[in-house]
Structure 1
Amino acid sequence: MKAIIIPVTPFAQNCSLIWCEETMKGAVVDPGGDLPHILDVAEKQGVTIEKILITHGHLDHAGGTVQLQEKLDVPIEGPHEADKFWIDQLPEQCARYGFPPSFAFTPDRWLKDGDVVTVGNETLDVVHCPGHTPGHVVFVSKKHKLAIVGDVLFQGSIGRTDFPMGNHDDLINSIREKLWPLGDDIHFIPGHGNMSTFGHERQTNPFVADLNFG
């Protein structure tokens, strides 16, 4: 499986294009906006986009979902249904922050903990990681030691929990009890900023490092 990070929107959100090298079928993860740029990258890589994956319902991650779905006629998978209230507010969110107009949507498939999504011949495990939002999900390829974590975890930081229905304790538990057991050698693409590994964050991240939890 291949992955390219495509920063989009004024928030520099890490949209990802992932694809199966055998079939060249791919998925766009978190198309927050700048759709022509996303489609241009896919075309240059020779990738046929077969679905849209959403980690959570915030505008910079989901704002371009409907427009991309209408253009490509592909299914939307994710997030967890607990984020429905965020997705329903997408038009208001985008207007408030000066983003291009957006539309609410109902995904073709809500995801839950333990689900599996496919991209070509590749499979990704779904891990429900509430805290930043109640319905946030993470996509994990154990085969390729890669996770797409949205706004759960960052290099040296963690997601905000001061938004409606955010919960700091839930976020810490999601990271330490659901992500760390996947292995220190997992590389992750965060929703913003640079990639890192779970092992590096376990050692150095001031919010979730092991040394802070006895």
Structure 2
Amino acid sequence: MLRHLSHPVTPLAQNATLIWCDATGAAAWVDPGADAADLERIAQKQGVHLEKILLTHGHLDHVGATAELAARTGVPVIGPHRDDAFWLDQLPAQAQVFGFPEIPPLAPDQWLDDGDTITLGQTTLQVLHCPGHTPGHVVFHDPQTRLALVGDVLFHGAIGRSDFPRGNGRELIGAITGKLWPLGDDTRFVPGHGPESTFGEERRSNPFVADHVLATGSGETGRGRYY
């Protein structure tokens, strides 16, 4: 069974999330945005062994500690989709704009495509390419525990911004309704920021993508609320 815990990092309170197979202790950090030493200690305290770093997309607050954590632990960096390569190439500029310490460009060990799978112990994660917030954004889904790690695609009560370079509001809405909703209303998700929720709750109450909002054509397709 897949277990998880989130540890907010950076001034944007980005959810760096540790996931692990309960049966084997095989673990991965998803979106380690900062504080590599702290993230390493958290994994050690849980008694798990880190095997991978997984990235949903290339924004600084999600990847800022990736290179340091990979160097400290010797694990591979997997994801996001290749269409986010330009964001990873621009990490030095992103750091300068947001006042972060200097961060070099990042090249993952493996890019991901829609339909790929990632093995973590006895758990197999599905990869869904969900562009819109960024063109190469991916989501990780565990069908067994009905858990999704959605990065900045969807939040409790909000959706990701689509006004960044190569963002696309219509693609974002399409990814949410076409890729996430079919996973089931009872699927719980960990967003890139803020509290967890379920897809069913967001279909009922999210002011951007609730079913009744989209049915009336009043949903926001340009800019979400956060990040």
Q: TM-score, normalised by structure 1?
A: 0.98
Tell me if the contact between 1:17 and 1:28 (Cα under 8 Å) persists in the aligned partners.
Answer: yes
Tell me if the contact between 1:59 and 1:90 (Cα under 8 Å) persists in the aligned partners.
Answer: yes
Counterpart-to-counterpart distance in 2, 1:7 and 1:92: 23
- Provide the residue aligned with 2:156 in structure 1: 155
- Provide the residue aligned with 1:172 in structure 2: 173
- Provide the residue aligned with 1:204 in structure 2: 205
Tell me if the contact between 2:189 and 2:197 (Cα under 8 Å) persists in the aligned partners.
Answer: yes
Counterpart-to-counterpart distance in 1, 2:105 and 2:50: 21
In the TM superposition, what whole-angstrom CA distance separates every residue of 1:83-129 from its partner, at most 9, and x where no partner exists? 00000001111122111221212211100110001112211100000
- Provide the residue aligned with 1:68 in structure 2: 69
Gaps of 5+ in 1: none
Q: How does 1:34-183 map to 2 (within 5 A)?
A: 34-183=35-184
Counterpart-to-counterpart distance in 2, 1:165 and 1:144: 33
Counterpart-to-counterpart distance in 2, 1:38 and 1:73: 14
In the TM superposition, what whole-angstrom CA distance separates every residue of 1:47-77 from its partner, at most 9, and x where no partner exists? 1111100000000001111111111111111
2:194 aligned with 1:193: yes
Counterpart-to-counterpart distance in 1, 2:121 and 2:105: 27
| Deviating more after overlay: 99-108 vs 188-197 | 99-108
C-alpha RMSD of the superposition:
0.8
Counterpart-to-counterpart distance in 2, 1:95 and 1:33: 15
Counterpart-to-counterpart distance in 1, 2:121 and 2:169: 36
Q: 1:19 to 1:99 in 2, by over 3 A?
A: same
Gaps of 5+ in 2: 216-227
Match of 2:208, SS state, is coil
Deviation at 1:185, TM superposition (A): 0.5
Counterpart-to-counterpart distance in 2, 1:120 and 1:56: 23
Match of 1:111, SS state, is coil
Moved over 4 A (4+): none
Counterpart-to-counterpart distance in 1, 2:24 and 2:41: 19
Tell me if the contact between 1:16 and 1:28 (Cα under 8 Å) persists in the aligned partners.
Answer: yes
2:29 aligned with 1:28: yes
Tell me if the contact between 1:42 and 1:48 (Cα under 8 Å) persists in the aligned partners.
Answer: yes
Counterpart-to-counterpart distance in 2, 1:42 and 1:196: 24
Match of 2:104, SS state, is coil
Tell me if the contact between 1:63 and 1:103 (Cα under 8 Å) persists in the aligned partners.
Answer: no
Give 1:123's aligned amino acid: T
Match of 1:181, SS state, is helix
Match of 1:180, SS state, is helix
Q: TM-score, normalised by structure 2?
A: 0.93
Tell me if the contact between 1:18 and 1:28 (Cα under 8 Å) persists in the aligned partners.
Answer: yes
Counterpart-to-counterpart distance in 2, 1:8 and 1:165: 25
Give 2:121's aligned amino acid: G
Aligned length: 214
